[in-house]
Amino acid sequence: MGGSAGIIAPTGPPGVRKGYSAALESVRAIAALLVFARHIAGRLVATGADPGPPGFFESFAWGGQTGVTLFFVLSAFLLVPPFIAKAPASIPRFFARRFLRLWPIYLFAVFVATAWNAESLGDFGDGLIYLVYGQSHWSLITPLEPFSSVWWSLATEVQFYAVLGLCAFLGSRRFGRVVLGALLLFYAVAYAAFIATGFGIGDIGSSLSLRVSIFGRGWSFLLGGLAAWLYGRYGADWRARLEKVGWLGKGGGDALIMLTVVGIGLLLMKVETIGTWPAEIEWHAWHIPESALWAAFIIGLLVLPLRFRALLVNRPLERLGILSYSFYLWHLPIIVAVGKGLGISSADPEIAEPALLVLAIALSFAGTFAASALTYRYIEKPFLLRKERLAE
């Protein structure tokens, strides 16, 4: 799941992307690490042993899919303000920039995944639906395991781009703003009705497809956009005022940031007690407080005086944030390959020896980081340079 995505908002080191923020790159890395932890837990730690409901810290591994939500919130936080400010004139340029950011490395990943799974030349057609981001409709796709399991979030991100373009077009006109307000109200009512009734959709696959689409995950983007508006309007003033509050600089700011993390952890504990996918059906609305907490985390990181800021914003996280899109695309197949190579499988009735698990995690991370660095350098970065020649 990015941007998506998020996984998939604009990224690159200083000199490649204007408006670079070490703090936000570090947030992107945190999102990537959460998703990585989720798949380490799900693919390398045995589920057959029935470990029971996760504890607080364990919930960030078993519930690491929250990293995708963080990607979505961050995507809106980064993209909404500059786009809305210059729309509608910038709409074509915006989509050209998104294409250059998202598609080249994704095209390569789809080709690799299709070639990996193909048993005949005709099987290469299985990748075509992914190239137009049709993976939201699970009934239409042929899984390209283990690559495609995380690609649903890329389709959701692209849907966000389309909705953002529509919102910018409508928002630039007086009558359009009225229409936009009505559409937002309609969305809120429709979402509430869907949560209450499921729209009568009995097929689990179709229901899940809708829940992971922009319709189901729209609140993450809305709250990320709201956080961006608040930060743009009040952020400088908040930062100046909060720096003068003595107790915040002595650890109080860190405590406030940790409160958001605690809230997310408590949500994840409940979700993982239900089960990741059952929770999508039974308690989908949990993504609203989850998104709000991540939005608060981002704003807090940017405005609060933090005594231990280096724990959340540092060069290793910054570097991983730069590589996060490639990291997201490659981490799952590499985890699976390492697990097979070491003879570890989540289907085994016994949990692997701790030393073997540590080795598997280290190899998975090192392999993913190395693959990401290569594809960033030779595929992503050249197109990022082209993207930056297109003013927003």
The position carrying tokens 């799974």 is 117
Task: Give the model confidence (pLDDT) of 305-361 as tens digits.
Answer: 999 999 999 999 999 999 999 999 999 999 999 999 988 876 665 666 888 889 999
Say whether pLDDT at 364 is over 60: yes
Per mean pLDDT, which range of 98-107, 194-203, 246-255, 262-271 is the poorest?
194-203
Q: What is the pLDDT of residues 30-59, one digit of tens each?
A: 999 999 999 998 888 755 455 567 889 999
Euclidean distance between CA atoms 60 and 206, whole angstroms = 28
Please report, for the chain, the start and end positions of each structural domain, with discontinuous segments joined by +.
Answer: 22-388
Please give the average per-residue pLDDT across 135-152, as a whole number: 88
Task: Using the predicted structure, report yes or no on whether residue 6 has a pLDDT greater than 70.
Answer: no
pLDDT band at 121 (very low <50, low <70, confident <90, very high): confident
- Tens-digit pLDDT profile for residues 283-296: 999 999 999 999 99
Burial 288-304 (b: 16+ CB within 10 A, else e): eebbbbbbbbbbbbbbb
When pLDDT is cut at 50, 70 and 90, the band that residue 10 belongs to is: very low
pLDDT at 17 over 60: no
Instruction: Determine whether 236 is exposed, middle or buried from the number of CB atoms within 10 Å of its CB (0-12, 13-18, 19+).
Output: exposed
Cβ-proximal residues to 328 (8 Å cutoff; 6+ apart), any chain? 1, 2, 4, 5, 7, 32, 35, 150
Confidence of residue 390 (pLDDT cuts 50, 70, 90): confident
- Say how far apart CA 216 and CA 100 lie, in whole Å: 27
Give me the pLDDT at residue 19, please.
Answer: 56
Is pTM beyond 0.85? Reply is yes
Q: Quick one: average pLDDT of 133-144?
A: 84
Do you find a cis peptide bond into 88, omega within 30 degrees of 0? yes
Return the pLDDT at 346.
65
pLDDT at 182 over 60: yes
pLDDT grade for 257, boundaries at 50, 70 and 90 = very high
pLDDT of residue 52: 65
Mean pLDDT over all residues of the chain? 88
9 has pLDDT over 60? no
